[in-house]
Chains A and B, each alone.
Chain A
């Protein structure tokens, strides 16, 4: 059974600092991995999708890496801003026709 863990559960940084968010999964036979952000009381917003054949994906200030063999993905957010404050979730898909399995999320606070 795939288990997805995100550590730390919460993180507080001053504005301008780079953020590093971790996601680990127990079964390395994944199809893809997706990062989301969730604002309080809202749904999930997709940030980045990494296919199993890829090592990283970039979008603006966001960069996500994937190391399947070690069961890890890292989301980097450069030059954090107060608007980056949210909960960040990672989710893995074991095979093409499968559900997404989510981690518990990391709650981020960027202080002005």
Chain B
């Protein structure tokens, strides 16, 4: 595709439910990043995938959060037993190698009610 695509663009869920957020990187991009941005706050790193290397999961805030990526394709971020503090915009980015320019998607706005 032309850019990084994220779905859904908006998600409202009830507290305690599980949600899955999807990121389609630019074709051929080996590096993929997930970030979280709470209202009025900066970007908070969650997880980084680079090719077939072990992902950097150091930013995941709790064991309720997990992410998967198969090869250089789609990534899914899963949040189990959602809490109100999980409400945020979840942003995904990709780059063609680990060292080049990163391009972001439009984000998924998650609201936990």
Contact = CB atoms under 8 A, between A and B. Distances in A.
A31 B66 CA distance: 28
B99 A31 contact: yes
**A-side interface mostly:** strand
A77 to B, nearest CB: 19
A43 to B, nearest CB: 4
The range of chain A's interface size is 20 to 34
Contacts of A102: 35, 42-43, 45
Given A97-B50, A102-B42, A104-B42, A46 B99 contact: no
Nearest to A103: B42
Given A96-B98, A97-B98, A44 B48 contact: no
B25 interface: no
B59 interface: yes
Contact of B102 (A31, A46, A101): A46
A45 B98 CA distance: 18
B107 A43 contact: yes
A43 B104 contact: yes
A44 B104 contact: yes
A49 B100 contact: yes
Interface string B1-17: 00010000000000000
A89 B107 CA distance: 16
Interface in B88-106: 91, 93, 97-106
Contacts of B101: 34, 46, 49
A100 B103 CA distance: 12
A42 B98 CA distance: 24
Interface of A: 31-32, 34, 36, 42-46, 49, 51, 89, 91, 93, 96-105
Interface of B: 4, 33, 35, 42-43, 45, 48, 50, 53, 56, 59, 91, 93, 97-107
